[in-house]
Amino acid sequence: METTVKGLNQKVLNRAFLDLWTDAEKLFKKPVGFDNFKKEIKGKKIIRVWRRAKNIIFELSGNYSLLIHQKMTGHLLIGNWKIEIKNWEPLVKGPLEDRNNRYIHIMFWLSGDLMMALSDLRKFAKVELWKTEELLNSEEFKSIGPEPLDKSFTFEKFRARLRFNGATARRGKIKTILMKPEIIAGIGNIYSDEALWWAKINPLKDVSKLNNAELKNLYASIIKVLKSGVKLGGESFSDYRKPDGTKGDFDDERKAYRRAGEKCLYCKKAIIKRIKINGRSSCFCPYCQK
């Protein structure tokens, strides 16, 4: 999401929404009714783009904010297209022609002869238009945990988030805990697998059983893999693409995620194992990660 936000900020600032199209009105959650959404957003100018957890926020003129959650297979693209026999075709040959960029279900026309598309294979994305103050004070938004790459997110704050649930000790599989945005924002399936591999912690281990040294290793590993992910433009093993349509380069850095059946790159002995935890896949080395 951080890579997407950086790419959008380079292209869409100070542009206004002129029009939009969709063949999936169900993606528009607020205000109710696509026609209402379209009426409200037209003419509003993009002041900045930022992120909170996996929510991409377009701060707009008139004290409004556009929230887009791309979900599992969605990603925003910037360019120019024309529609041909119900398919959107990019006007310039290149990465926008990638098969994973062809599932366009929302198209925004922006001022300055630019378009922004949402490609989403499974059509699970969420699009909402809020009054900015209402969004920032909403229960959903206020419940999101701290951002792991914020300077204020110290080891002490990390330890406290993992150790305690209010006044009681927190329990649960560490993999599950890391992926809960109300505990820590922005650590998804990929980076939790990678951080746990670097920290040599089994994803099934109960968070209450982690000692201080393990917590320090995990904290450092989370920061390491997230910074690497941002630097390399994210991971494009499956659907994700950057706003210009190109792939991220983090795929070459994977040590655990989607490496099931391959030898561990650390011990060179064990085979990476894949299990399911709460419905999500988790890959780890059974020899290194105790």
pLDDT of amino acid 163: 87
The pLDDT tens digits of the residues spanning 111-141 come to: 999 999 999 999 999 999 999 999 999 998 9
Cβ within 8 Å of residue 126, ≥6 positions away: 27, 29, 67, 68, 69, 71
Task: Tell me the residue ranges of DSSP E strands in 124-169.
Answer: 126-131, 164-165, 168-169
CA atoms within 13 A on the CB side of 201: 30
Please report the domains of the chain, with CATH numbers, ordered by start residue.
Answer: 2-142 (3.20.190.10), 155-284 (1.10.8.50)
Do the Cβ atoms of 242 and 4 come closer than 8 Å? yes
In sequence order, what are the beta bridge partners of 235? none
The pLDDT tens digits of the residues spanning 29-82 come to: 999 999 999 999 999 999 999 999 999 999 999 999 999 999 988 999 999 999
Q: Which among 109, 111, 90 has a CA at the least distance from the CA of 22?
A: 109
pLDDT of amino acid 14: 98
Segments in the chain below pLDDT 50? none
Q: Which among 156, 159, 226 has a CA at the least distance from the CA of 198?
A: 226
Do the Cβ atoms of 129 and 166 come closer than 8 Å? no
Q: Which amino acid is at 144?
A: I
pLDDT of amino acid 147: 95
% of the chain beyond a pLDDT of 90 = 86
pLDDT of amino acid 271: 98
